[in-house]
Structure 1
Amino acid sequence: MLTKLEKAEQRWGGSNKLIDQWLNHRRKLLIQYFMLAGLAPYSRDDKTLPTVDEVKQFCAQLVDYVSEGHFEVYNNVVSACEKHGAESHNTAQLLLPQISKSTDTALDFNDKYSEIADEKTLYQLDGDLSSLAQSMESRFELEDQLLEILHSRHSMTA
């Protein structure tokens, strides 16, 4: 996922402040995910579970990321596509419901883990993180399709 992010940053970085901010937030989310999951290069030497606070911090970052997409970035992308052609607008409108599926997965994860009070729930974390990662990877691919539409067909300045 980080490699795909780096490609996205190389392809679209610097073309728009909002997109740069969004890709930066995606990077922060992915790093926090890798740290929480104990994946390289953030492996946990002692193989312990993350703390409840670490999980809650990740949940907050996750909700911030999906919210930013829905309430800030997508609206701007769709508006730009709307101004520059029906084909782009229609494509963007087809992608948004697909992206919403991953939003539901992210919010379900948040609901389960943002209010945990004990470590018992953390024993389910590995499986839930794996499911979340699959959903978010699909989301990132769909979001990148939106960015590609914007980049290849339109010039958007911020």
Structure 2
Amino acid sequence: MLTKLEKAEQRWGGANKLIDQWLTHRRNLLIKYFAIAGLAPTSTSNNSLPDTNQIKDFCQQLVDYVSEGHFEVYDKVVSECGTHGEASRETAQKLLPMISESTDTALDFNDKYTESTDDKVLYQLDTDLAKLAQAMESRFEYEDQLLEVLHSKHS
């Protein structure tokens, strides 16, 4: 996921302040994900579960990222695509429902790990992180397609 992010930053970085901010927030989200998952590049390989504050911090970043897409970025990108042709707007509008599929997964993860009072929920963390990673990877791919529509046809 970090390699794909780096390619996205190289491709669209500097083209738009909002896009730059969004990609930076994606990078921060991935760094926190890798930290709680115990994966490189942040792994300390101590084989212990992350603490609940670390997980809650990640959940907040996750919800912020998902919200930023839905309430700030997507509308502006679709609007911009719409000003440059019906085909671009239609493509963008087709991508939004596919992006939204991962929103439920992200919000369910957030609810489970921020509202639970039972520490035993942490034993499900690896499975839930793997499911979340799949959903977010799909989301990032669709978001990148959305950015590509805007960039390739309108830059």
- Range class of TM-score, shorter chain: over 0.9
Output the CA distance in 1 between the equivalents of 2:56 and 2:116: 8
Aligned to 1:90: 90
Aligned to 1:108: 108
Aligned to 2:47: 47
- With normalisation by structure 2, the TM-score equals 0.98
Output the CA distance in 1 between the equivalents of 2:148 and 2:46: 42
Gapped runs of 5+ residues in structure 2?
Answer: none
Deviates more, 1:87-96 or 1:114-123: 114-123
Q: How far apart are 1:41 and its partner, in Å?
A: 1.9
Aligned to 2:122: 122
Output the CA distance in 2 between the equivalents of 1:41 and 1:8: 19
Q: Which has the higher contact order (CA 8 A, sep 6+)?
A: 1
Aligned to 2:71: 71
Q: How far apart are 1:40 and its partner, in Å?
A: 1.0
Amino acid at match of 1:18: L
TM-superposition CA deviations, 1:52-90 (whole Å, max 9, x none): 111100000000000000000000000001110000000
Partner SS state of residue 151, structure 1? helix
Please say if 1:13 is aligned against 2:16. Answer: no
The answer to whether the Cα contact below 8 Å between 1:52 and 1:116 also exists between their aligned partners in 2 is no
TM-superposition CA deviations, 1:22-58 (whole Å, max 9, x none): 0000000000000010001222332000001111000
- With normalisation by structure 1, the TM-score equals 0.96
Output the CA distance in 1 between the equivalents of 2:130 and 2:35: 13
Output the CA distance in 1 between the equivalents of 2:132 and 2:6: 20
Output the CA distance in 2 between the equivalents of 1:144 and 1:42: 25
Deviates more, 1:4-13 or 1:108-117: 108-117
Q: CA RMSD in A?
A: 0.8
Output the CA distance in 1 between the equivalents of 2:122 and 2:58: 13
Output the CA distance in 2 between the equivalents of 1:44 and 1:122: 18
Aligned to 1:147: 147
Q: How far apart are 1:154 and its partner, in Å?
A: 1.1
Structure 1 or 2: larger helix share? 2
Gapped runs of 5+ residues in structure 1?
Answer: none
